[in-house]
Amino acid sequence: MVSTVELERDEGAMPPTPGGMLAKRAMRARNKAGLSLRALAEKLGYPHTYLSRVERGEQLPSDALAEALDDFYDADGLFTELLEVARSAEIPTWGRRVLEEEKRAARIQTFNSSVVPGLLQTEPYTSALFVESMPGKDADKVALQVAMRSHRKAVLDSSAPPLYWAIMDEAALRRPVGGPAVMADQVRHILNMIESNSAVRVQVLPFARGVHPLLGGSLSLLTLRDGVTFAYVESFASGTSVDAPADVLELTTLLDVARSEALDSGESVALFTKYLKEYEDDI
């Protein structure tokens, strides 16, 4: 541990976002300690390229790195606290509940009609998706959104993950977000998740099945460990959390109908494999 580092505010304007503030504080603390990025990387045991992205505001640190920075700089939890603020700052009010509850859910059922479900996305796919779908947003905000989604995926790797049952429209596979290389990596990741994680099930609802009751939207059903289920419906830049039993039952029925139209597990894997080959051929 180095001696306590003063982390007072700079004169003038504050960084535009909590993520930018965290990046600036990390760089300033390192400079005050008289360390190069490579020297700090050697002391902390992290790649210097990773630390560089954090200091440039291109990537949020992991929980472990934030704690390591706090310990090394004797910063009294500053970096851990800034990380928590940065993750929550850009979450709309209507989306905060589902992000909190999915950490404690026993089962997550989700349908998405246009893109790969969030917890199955790779970082390059998420980054390409946000760059195109957030016009006018600066790089810092895009990087923050990507980091938050990446952080959420840890729920599937926990010691007691929820059953994650995703249904995705074939449109999500056909739409080449980020280009062939990104899509090939994304489809390969989904196949790996299906094979390696028994808590993950993914089905595809193919074009050939025609119209279904969830066209054009996104629906998630979260069942908590006490058996209570609530729904979350999202569309464009808005979302709604649904608790009323009658409404939850109606949405559950819509999801069940969509699931009945989807390919079974083996057929879905075959379709994923078909798209993977097509994207690999286009690289």
Domains in the chain with CATH codes? 18-89 (1.10.260.40), 93-282 (3.30.870)
Average pLDDT for residues 148-167, to the nearest whole number? Answer: 85
Contact between 75 and 69 under an 8 Å Cβ cutoff? The reply is yes
The pLDDT value given to residue 36: 96
130-139, 155-164, 249-258 — most confident range: 249-258
Mean predicted confidence (pLDDT) in 192-199: 95
More confident residue, 13 or 217: 217
94 phi/psi in degrees, rounded to 5: -70, -10
- 4-20 average pLDDT score: 51
Residue-level pLDDT at 136: 63
With a pLDDT cut of 70, the percent of the chain lying above it is 82
User: Residue 1 above 90 pLDDT?
Assistant: no
Which amino acid would we find at residue 272?
F
Q: Which amino acid is at 176?
A: P
282 confidence band (pLDDT: 50, 70, 90): very high
Q: What's the whole-number mean pLDDT along residues 43-65?
A: 89
Of 88-97, 186-195, 222-231, 232-241, minimum mean pLDDT range = 88-97
Q: Which residue has the higher pLDDT, 4 or 161?
A: 161
* CB environment 257-270: b (16+ within 10 A), e (fewer): ebbebbbeeeebbe
Q: 168: which strand partners?
A: 112, 204
Q: Is the pLDDT of residue 9 over 50?
A: no
pLDDT category, 86, cuts 50, 70, 90? confident
At a CB cut-off of 8 Å and minimum separation 6, what does 61 contact? 22, 26, 54, 69, 79, 83
The stretch 164-185 carries a mean pLDDT of 96
Share of the chain above pLDDT 90, in %: 57
| pLDDT mean over 129-148 | 69
The type of residue at 64 is: A
Given a cut of 60, whether residue 11 has pLDDT beyond it is no
